[in-house]
Structure 1
């Protein structure tokens, strides 16, 4: 009877594992950040070609794997492959969101992860990653000159941002109340956008990069009302960014928003106008690589009279919060570009983990209980069986460090008025040249990691 019970328990574990879509030796005995160490280091060094070679199949499932592929291929200027990968990730997200009924395989995945580790769960991307998915889809379309398709992705991204803000309304309100109690003056962008003036808390859940890009594309499309909505939102998140300030003033003036202009001019001065011989350069400057999740493990001995002492490991993800190395200044026509922070991706990632951590801890406790029940029913007090289970528990308890780890660490933006004609942008040892038409605006997308960088630009016409 005891032998039969052990076979039933072991058979149940095998059944659960076979139903896990993410079941692999890597996910069983390691975790995502560790498995992607070489990929991360290649991106960190700016070796985009090597990073493309380091991409593996099937580590984290169709959503996260394809988001990583899409980002790395975009850095490596393999744009068709980037778009195809991001499209696959987007389709996988749609399928995940459309599953109204929990399937048998999902149930098996959840139970299997409860018995082994959370890496066996299907990956559900957080809000900030979904926003970046639409952002990079939009950038791919913009690179191809497909403005309408890019705007579709901006609208989808804005829907994600709206949902993220609404789910955290109470938290943002508490942050705003705290700032008021400390005598901190309200952010004009928050007032105009009717956003809670929640300082860093707002920046952690709302992506200024998305808002600014969306506003610029709407403005290029001639949709000034939509552009003004997103410029105000960007101003709420990044109130000191020159590209955001210039865009907000410019469109407010064009729309004749006199009451808004009074407040804006008082805070930021007059809108910058272009002469017939001048143009504008807006630079979106991605820097570094977002910090990967690390793993923390602790072994705990549990004792009961019938089966003696057993060891259980607790494994939790965490961020080391390492200090970012400052990127070198860039120069436009031999003048240092005045870049200011637009989005801090490390802050977004850290906020997401802090929100998920209570659930992770609860599942960790439940897993210890589940493993102990399984151990006792299987080993029946057998010392060798206990030893095998102790080793198994130590090896398989792995932290869930899955996240989109090839995203940039931060994004800056600048807006510079220049004389029309050929422009020279110096980024480290690289020199890029491009043209700006009279009274035209050129958008420059730049991403730099290590000593390397990748860049492209688009002429947006007269804004």
Structure 2
């Protein structure tokens, strides 16, 4: 029979564990539950309601200050879907500035201490998220016929792509310095993958049309060549047929339809375990999923003092499916060619995440080793026998696991795919219907533009969105 002292001790231990879990989850885990009602309203087409729920979430503290980039991108995208292009640009401009400010700060903090969980750091956005803040702003400005401002955003997007290799080379240098200076004394040799994305097709598509609309056909042709090269030289991103594009009509006008479909990827946790081998100076990383049967994720040459086996997690990019299979356009009641894919944002996300994923991997392994070895020593000291010793060791295990939660933060409302279509039409007034169809050909939604005026040799841009 349990004594009163043992019973009280047990209650204290359980309380300690519950508190540890609660505190750990609130500070070191990614919170995404508050998005559910917002997403439900968005999927139902109630965009104004979704925007209001987002603001309520911010006011109630769902977006921490360190996560302000997420708020501004989320709010900017919902404003875009509502056709409130000016408000969208205002939010996305702040998001871009926050990304630039927070990246340097988060890298410096991460390099300074291996023990900091990534969830504690300021979130500066993934590279594809930052890239599309510029491209969505360019699309907004194009819709507002503010071409010079749109060109500025496209140039900024192109510059970001040009600087990616240097950006992560500098970050890797700081990480190596941090590991060399860290008191944990864990040094890992690593190389970054080559950045294989330098030319964005959608950016070229927009600038091509805007140059042509301004009568700068030589510049439009140059961007057409860049667009062609994006598909030719980057098949790992543009692994599909280049869309048919037309930017000039001698006698008529060009009507361009741009559709934003689905939602960009999110991150999910990949559970892994580390097994160290002091004789081989080796750290082996294994999948924790039982279905993988201990398959190796990777291994690193690292000097370790003891043989241990402990848990950690990494973020991985996970694609989100869309209900929309095709988008049809009818002009004056006559069907045209379906819109064609120009940008698979999921592919861009995976490619641009590679360099950062390597840094996260190296840092997470180093942190897991330091904390795992520290936990082992603490457990040996805490092993006083009996229930008290068991509770102390359990608390150490729980605390160690909690602080290894993967950072799963990501924006929620960027599109998953961008489709385009260019149609030559005679000058004058036209009725345009854009239909979103499922894989079974069922109409999910439609957008109608009645009495749309298109001038001779002009360019008219239409947008349609289906974020589900």
Q: What TM-score comes out, normalization by structure 2 length?
A: 0.66
Q: 1:210 to 1:436 in 2, by over 3 A?
A: same
Q: 1:365 to 1:385 in 2, by over 3 A?
A: same
Which of 207, 212, 217 aligns to 2:210? It is 217
Corresponding residue number in structure 1 for 2:460 = 442
1:139 and 2:139 matched: yes
In the TM superposition, what is the alpha-carbon distance from 1:93 to its structure 2 partner? 3.1
1:144-223 superposed matches below 5 A: 144-164=144-164, 206-223=199-216
In the TM superposition, what is the alpha-carbon distance from 1:438 to its structure 2 partner? 2.9
Bigger drift between 346-355 and 405-414 goes to: 346-355
1:237 and 2:237 matched: no
CA deviation vs aligned residue, 1:40-60 (integer Å, no higher than 9, x gap): 555455442343234343345
Corresponding residue number in structure 2 for 1:10 = none
Aligned length: 358
Corresponding residue number in structure 2 for 1:318 = 316
Which of 394, 402, 405 aligns to 2:401? It is 394
In the TM superposition, what is the alpha-carbon distance from 1:26 to its structure 2 partner? 5.9
Whether the aligned pair in 2 keeps the contact of 1:274 and 1:417 (CA below 8 Å) is: no
CA distance in 2, matches of 1:33, 1:51: 15
Corresponding residue number in structure 2 for 1:381 = 382
Which of 219, 232, 237 aligns to 1:226? It is 219
Q: 1:153 to 1:376 in 2, by over 3 A?
A: same
CA distance in 1, matches of 2:219, 2:32: 39
In the TM superposition, what is the alpha-carbon distance from 1:165 to its structure 2 partner? 8.0
SS for the counterpart of 1:329 is strand
CA distance in 2, matches of 1:376, 1:166: 39
CA distance in 2, matches of 1:167, 1:300: 29
1:7-406 superposed matches below 5 A: 28-31=27-30, 36-40=35-39, 42-44=41-43, 46-55=45-54, 56-57=57-58, 58-59=63-64, 61-96=67-102, 108=109, 114-115=114-115, 117-164=117-164, 206-238=199-231, 240-244=241-245, 246-247=246-247, 250=248, 273-275=249-251, 278-298=252-272, 312-321=310-319, 324-333=322-331, 334=333, 335-375=335-375, 380-382=381-383, 383=389, 384-406=391-413
Q: 1:47 to 1:119 in 2, by over 3 A?
A: farther
In the TM superposition, what is the alpha-carbon distance from 1:328 to its structure 2 partner? 4.0
In the TM superposition, what is the alpha-carbon distance from 1:27 to its structure 2 partner? 6.0
Q: 1:108 to 1:346 in 2, by over 3 A?
A: closer
Whether the aligned pair in 2 keeps the contact of 1:329 and 1:336 (CA below 8 Å) is: no
CA distance in 2, matches of 1:53, 1:376: 49
CA deviation vs aligned residue, 1:46-84 (integer Å, no higher than 9, x gap): 442343234343345233331222112211234343222
Whether the aligned pair in 2 keeps the contact of 1:312 and 1:390 (CA below 8 Å) is: no
Higher helix share goes to which structure?
A: 1
CA distance in 2, matches of 1:389, 1:40: 38
SS for the counterpart of 1:61 is helix
1:418-457 superposed matches below 5 A: 418-426=425-433, 427=435, 428-433=445-450, 434-450=452-468
CA distance in 1, matches of 2:164, 2:378: 45
Q: 1:34 to 1:392 in 2, by over 3 A?
A: farther
In the TM superposition, what is the alpha-carbon distance from 1:150 to its structure 2 partner? 1.8
SS for the counterpart of 2:327 is coil
CA deviation vs aligned residue, 1:342-370 (integer Å, no higher than 9, x gap): 11101011223333333222222212222
Whether the aligned pair in 2 keeps the contact of 1:128 and 1:207 (CA below 8 Å) is: no
CA distance in 1, matches of 2:275, 2:369: 13
CA deviation vs aligned residue, 1:390-441 (integer Å, no higher than 9, x gap): 1223333222223333211111111111233222222334322222123322
In the TM superposition, what is the alpha-carbon distance from 1:225 to its structure 2 partner? 4.0
CA deviation vs aligned residue, 1:84-103 (integer Å, no higher than 9, x gap): 21121122234347x6xx7x
Q: 1:160 to 1:378 in 2, by over 3 A?
A: same
| Aligned-CA RMSD value | 3.6
Q: What TM-score comes out, normalization by structure 1 length?
A: 0.66
Whether the aligned pair in 2 keeps the contact of 1:119 and 1:399 (CA below 8 Å) is: yes
Q: 1:299 to 1:165 in 2, by over 3 A?
A: closer
Q: 1:29 to 1:121 in 2, by over 3 A?
A: closer
Whether the aligned pair in 1 keeps the contact of 2:272 and 2:313 (CA below 8 Å) is: yes
In the TM superposition, what is the alpha-carbon distance from 1:375 to its structure 2 partner? 3.0
